[in-house]
Amino acid sequence: MLVNHGMNQLTSLSIARSYSFAPSTAAVLRRQSFLIRALGGGSHSKFHSTAGSTMQETEADAVSILRGITPTLDPNRHKGQAGKIAVIGGCREYTGAPYFAAISALKIGADLSHVFCTKDAAPVIKSYSPELIVHPVLEESYSVREEERKQVSAKVVAEVDKWMERFDCLVVGPGLGRDPFLLDCVSEIIKQGRHSNVPIVVDGDGLFLVTNSLDLVHGYPLAVLTPNVNEYKRLVQKVLKCEVDDADAPGQLASLAKQIGGVTILRKGRSDLISDGDIVNSVSIYGSPRRCGGQGDILSGSVAVFLSWARQPFVAADRNPTVLGCIAGSALLRKAASLAFETRKRSTLTTDIIECLGRSLEDICPAC
Ligand SMILES: NC(=O)C1=CN([C@@H]2O[C@H](COP(=O)(O)OP(=O)(O)OC[C@H]3O[C@@H](n4cnc5c(N)ncnc54)[C@H](OP(=O)(O)O)[C@@H]3O)[C@@H](O)[C@H]2O)[C@@H](O)CC1
Ligand SMILES: Nc1ncnc2c1ncn2[C@@H]1O[C@H](COP(=O)(O)OP(=O)(O)OP(=O)(O)O)[C@@H](O)[C@H]1O
Ligand SMILES: [Mg+2]
């Protein structure tokens, strides 16, 4: 199978799949053709040969994509129109991960960022930032008696669901933990999000959950999975029933995305690889040699914002917004990591990278 052959394949894909609701204006057509160029044209490709097939991933023109989907700062737009993101995560052990994801969404340009976490994680997350709207609604097994579980679960799911229609994207998993009762409640939240047609980025412990319950995301085109090395290995073993094959990385990634019904997968690594089963793009912009924890959390919050922006009416309807969101998020994180490393060197931390998100986007899409 050949992936992303540039103009011709992208044009035919645009006939086969339509992803948003853009009106057919001259401006839209201009953006459409530039996005086609950005995804396919002029960028270099790598070939991977396996027995019987040749696979190709194309380095995306991430800068053009960022420019194409980032909205202008228009005084006529009201609060909320630049994005309302919700992170489902945060438990006794992990309070940093949901904070990193949620604050990154705001630093990039979302208007509102919510965190739904356990009761004991909430005051800690609130104390990191007054900007976040923190809901202490999730419960772990230790705090719920066996006979109360059904009732508590229904209450937890209802607490999130009453907000659901307002969210442009959910990020499920950063710092969620693996408590079985909590994960059961989160399964129901994913089902509700899907029912409401809200895009869902699944990361961290959310991937542990969906790898063991693939039906939660199977066939949902607005689902994005962002596995790291370990999480990807577990997905490949579970879905493809084999080991990770780096000699045919794009082919295997495309098969995995297809087998899960056309979800989009962003495989994190030295280069990030992105596929929805139809095309495979890479983002290899130089990032940082520091591998401090939390960079994946920045990425999940960033993908959520860009994917929401990629679904706006002014963006071409012919490209999968989940793929555009992944490319933009990956590129911006890597650029910010590189900037942070320039000054912080070995002491670079995730919070330093978050501080560079604004400047990184400003360099590409100036605010005015
Ligand atoms: N500040 C916070 O609150 C943060 C909280 N976080 C949250 O933690 C939760 C669990 O997420 P996770 O990423 O620690 O779990 P997972 O992927 O199973 O890794 C476990 C172990 O696998 C290894 N390992 C990792 N990468 C590898 C590689 N490339 N190649 C080879 N091995 C590799 C490595 O093992 P080691 O080398 O230490 O033996 C690593 O320790 C999740 O909710 C997440 O959101 C994080 O977001 C960070 C910031
Ligand atoms: N070897 C590498 N070289 C350069 N960049 C990398 C490398 N590995 C990961 N990255 C970058 O760091 C980002 C986060 O990937 P990583 O594998 O650290 O995620 P993670 O383990 O989920 O992080 P977290 O600690 O937040 O859970 C990726 O998007 C990628 O751009
Ligand atoms: Mg992670």
* DSSP-derived secondary structure for 334-351: HHHHHHHHHHHGGG--HH
User: What is the band of 281 on the pLDDT scale with cuts at 50, 70, 90?
Assistant: very high
- Ligand 2, closest atom to CA 294? 26
Is 77 one of the annotated binding-site residues? no
Is 74 one of the annotated binding-site residues? no
| Ligand 2 pocket test, candidate residues 172, 203, 295, 350, most atoms within 8 A of CB | 295
Is 325 one of the annotated binding-site residues? no
pLDDT in tens, 41-98: 444 556 554 444 556 899 999 999 999 999 999 889 899 999 999 999 999 999 999 9
Q: What 3-state DSSP class applies to 153?
A: helix
Q: Is 179 in the pocket of ligand 1 (CB under 6 A)?
A: no
Q: What 3-state DSSP class applies to 112?
A: strand
Is 318 one of the annotated binding-site residues? no
User: How high is the pLDDT of residue 52?
Assistant: 44
Residue 145 has pLDDT above 50, yes or no: yes
User: What is the band of 8 on the pLDDT scale with cuts at 50, 70, 90?
Assistant: very low
- For 129-162, give one letter per residue: b (16+ CB within 10 A) or e: eeebebbbbbbbeeebeeeeeeeebeebbebbbe
Task: Indicate which ligand has the atom closest to the C-alpha of 208.
Answer: 1
Structural domains of the chain, with CATH: 53-364 (3.40.1190.20)
Closest residue to atom 16 of ligand 1, CA basis: 230
Q: Is 96 in the pocket of ligand 1 (CB under 6 A)?
A: yes
In terms of pLDDT, which residue wins out, 76 or 6? 76
Query: ipTM of this complex > 0.90?
Result: yes
Tokens found for residue 248: 């045919």
User: How high is the pLDDT of residue 28?
Assistant: 45
Q: Which residue has the tokens 């995306």?
A: 60
Q: Is 205 in the pocket of ligand 1 (CB under 6 A)?
A: yes
Average pLDDT across the chain, whole number = 89
Closest residue to atom 25 of ligand 1, CA basis: 230
Q: CB-based burial of residue 14 (10 Å sphere; 0-12 exposed, 13-18 middle, 19+ buried)?
A: middle
**Measured between alpha carbons, how far is 58 from 4 in angstroms, rounded to an integer?**
7
pLDDT in tens, 146-157: 999 999 999 999
- Ligand 1: centre distance to CA 152 (Å): 30
Q: Whole-model pTM?
A: 0.89
pLDDT in tens, 153-210: 999 999 999 999 999 999 999 999 999 999 999 999 999 999 999 999 999 999 999 9
**Measured between alpha carbons, how far is 10 from 22 in angstroms, rounded to an integer?**
17
Task: Indicate which ligand has the atom closest to the C-alpha of 266.
Answer: 2
Which long-range contacts (C-beta less than 8 Å, at least 24 apart) are formed by 340-343?
A: 340/288, 341/288, 341/289, 341/290
The mean per-residue pLDDT over the stretch 204-222 comes to: 98
Closest residue to atom 5 of ligand 2, CA basis: 270
The mean-pLDDT minimum among 19-23, 242-246, 270-274 falls in 19-23
Ligand 2 pocket, CB under 6 A:
204, 228, 268-270, 272, 287, 291, 293-297, 299, 330, 333-334
Is 212 one of the annotated binding-site residues? no
Tokens found for residue 200: 């869902």
Closest residue to atom 15 of ligand 2, CA basis: 296
The mean per-residue pLDDT over the stretch 18-40 comes to: 46
Residues, Cβ < 5 Å to ion ligand 3: 204, 296
Q: Which residue has the tokens 């960028």?
A: 43
User: How high is the pLDDT of residue 50?
Assistant: 45
Is 206 one of the annotated binding-site residues? no
Closest residue to atom 4 of ligand 1, CA basis: 97
